[in-house]
A and B are shown apart, each in its own frame.
Chain A
């Protein structure tokens, strides 16, 4: 039961310890890496336990859900916690390769741990207001990280990010208040039970739309995504990998959670709206990617396009669609984070991020080229890489539902993804560099490649072992949509106040 708190507690304790430690040193790095590895182990243990038991519920302070806050781990939450721990571990290790200890920013590791604590709390919470708190912990850490190592130009880009997220948080707060007024509770399980009792109430639809705006903003859904492609490229490569892997996916996870677990399943109109918004995001995101001319910019726009695929699956709203969405999230987080890391290495070797001035990397760093090619093709969706299975499942569901236009949009978006990936490949790896001596060897590149190789291997394993992963995703989807089971699990837990509910 108490395993559920560890993914939040461990990063927090690590963060404070690192803060006290102060100056970067090799031993401090060992501590950070050990903690990240321990978090990954805990997350895997949590996943194993939830796959077996379904739900693990922790009543915080031993108060029941009526009075207190509960943390709930189901397979979906456990998968997400595992992914965040994995990405954080990779980002931390890559950061070690990027800087000598003397050059590391002393607060970076601390803030990364705070960020991970917030992300994990968002996954594990079973309460709408606690979700708000988790978002804020995560966002404040992300604001700090965004401006931590920023120069003048970068700081300018942090301002729209802050303004947009501040507005989003205010809307979220109001939505929580609205939900409390409507149902008299903020607990997910009770919200679900009470919302199911009044499915035709227009106020429930209003709440659903309200939450859609809030979480769509966090996830980067059309038409609320303009803050993302300009703010992510200012981050250093490992942090960009962590942000692009996890932050928007928290938004997608919360959409899965609210529409699957909390709100009634009969809101067909809202689901259709979600699917079409996702379709628009898919196309506009990939068009934005084609228009950019530096690697991190292209990759940032791709996040949007991929978010479209995941949200499209949520909008289609069958159980298989949910499973496809979860599989896609698993695939996407690993591939996208590793692509940002590869982009960082390429920028280090070419000493620039601008495609016009890059070139010839294939000759200087063939290993990097192979890694990039694997992940780029996976992102575009070529079999047997992991992206293919995710897209295949989503397209199958789309065809079953008869959403031919959306399926066509998804296929067009995939082809354009391939085109923009080939744009990076041609300019950075294949073509001759405009200035011959631009590319240089760098000993740091080798260590970076090792970290990235680890991620690529996991990604390949997801693609080749797609059947097993998909089975996990199916189980996660089934549990995430089982509102009655969720309610039973939350209320079955032993607490110290009398179980006085009907």
Chain B
């Protein structure tokens, strides 16, 4: 089980990196979405209970329980990822409207960073 999860996380991170390194805005966008999903899966895979440590739950616990903390973390991370992805979509859309291109390489093609306007 843990080997499959590890492989899946690796594949997801690999694909995400591959996509992010593209020039196309859409591929970059999907890359970042995939990246945050890979990170969430990574968090989930960290949620086992090694070394017999108890989950942070108040009160008596009847029987073994799944550690809820990584799930709470993932939920938070999803919320944040949702907001940032929405911002990224709008930013890319505005870049497309301004520059009439969806190619990141063209975007920075003739840039001279020492001059502002």
A and B touch in the complex (CB under 8 A): yes
CB within 8 A of A167: which of B35, B57, B107, B114? B35
Contact A152 B43 (CB under 8 A): no
Closest Cβ–Cβ distance, residue A464 to chain B (whole Å): 37
Per-residue 0/1 for A221-238: is the Cβ within 8 Å of any B Cβ (1 yes, 0 no)?
Answer: 000000001100100000
Report the separation of the CA atoms of residues A66 and B53 in the bound assembly, to the nearest whole angstrom: 12
Stretch at the interface among A291-299, A308-316, A468-476: A291-299
Q: How far is A155 from B88 in the complex, measured between Cα atoms in Å? A: 12
Contact B116 A153 (CB under 8 A): yes
Mostly helix, strand, loop or mixed at chain A's interface? helix
Cα-based distance from A169 to B87 in the complex (angstroms): 15
In the complex, how many angstroms separate the beta carbon of B13 from the nearest chain A beta carbon?
9
The answer to the question of B61 belonging to the interface, with a C-beta cut-off of 8 Å to chain A, is: no
With contacts A140-B83, A162-B87, A177-B42 known, is A155 near B35, CB below 8 A? Answer: no
Is A155 in contact with B95, judged by CB distance below 8 angstroms? Answer: yes
**Is A273 in contact with chain B by the CB < 8 A criterion?**
no
Interface centre among A132, A140, A144, A169 (most CB of B within 10 A): A169
Interchain CB contact (< 8 A) of B39 among A174, A184, A230, A293: A174
A159 at the binding interface (Cβ < 8 Å): yes
B19-73 contacts to A, CB under 8 A, are 20, 28, 32, 35-36, 38-40, 42-43, 46, 48, 50-51, 53, 56-58, 69-70, 73
A67 contacts B28, C-beta separation under 8 Å: no
Given A155-B98, A180-B46, A297 and B114 touching (CB < 8 A)?
yes
Given contacts A67-B58, A156-B107, A170-B35, contact A136 B80 (CB under 8 A): yes
Across-interface contacts of A174 in B (CB, < 8 A): 39, 42-43
Contact assessment for B84 and A156 in the assembled complex, using a CB-CB cutoff below 8 Å: no
A28 to chain B, nearest CB (A): 25
Q: How far is B38's CA from A167's CA once the two chains are assembled, in angstroms?
A: 12
A169-188 interface (Cβ within 8 A of B): 169-170, 173-174, 176-178, 180-181, 184-186
Chain A residues near B73 (CB-CB < 8 A): 129, 173, 176-177, 180
B35 touches A67 (CB 8 A): no
CB-based nearest A residue for B98: A152
Query: B107 near A159 (CB under 8 angstroms)?
Result: yes
Residue ID in chain B nearest A146 by CB atoms: B91
In the complex, A143 has a CB within 8 A of chain B: yes
Contacts of A167 in B (CB 8 A): 20, 35
Q: How many of chain B's residues touch chain A, expressed as a range? A: 35 or more
Number of A-B contacts (CB under 8 A): 106
Shortest distance in angstroms between B116's beta carbon and chain A's nearest beta carbon?
6
- The listed residue with most A CB atoms (<10 A of its CB), out of B46, B50, B117, is B46
Whether B56 and A181, one on each chain, are in contact in the complex, defined by CB atoms closer than 8 angstroms, is no
Contacts of A66 in B (CB 8 A): 56
- Provide the bound-state CA to CA distance between A155 and B93, in Å: 11
A139-B99 Cα distance, complex, nearest whole Å: 25
Query: Is A101 part of the contact surface with B, judged by Cβ < 8 Å?
Result: no
Contact of A133 with B32 in the complex, beta carbons under 8 Å: no
CB of A147 closer than 8 Å to a CB of B: yes
Chain B's nearest CB lies how many Å from the CB of A295? 10
Taking CB atoms, residues of chain B closer than 8 Å to A152 are 98-99
Give min CB distance, A6 to chain B, whole Å: 23
10 contacting pairs across A/B (C-beta < 8 A): A63-B58, A67-B56, A143-B91, A159-B92, A166-B32, A167-B20, A181-B46, A233-B116, A294-B116, A297-B113
4 nearest A-B residue pairs (beta carbon): A181-B46, A177-B43, A177-B46, A152-B98
Q: Spell out B's residues near A (CB within 8 Å).
A: 20, 28, 32, 35-36, 38-40, 42-43, 46, 48, 50-51, 53, 56-58, 69-70, 73, 76-77, 80, 83-84, 87-88, 91-92, 94-95, 98-99, 104, 107-108, 111, 113-117
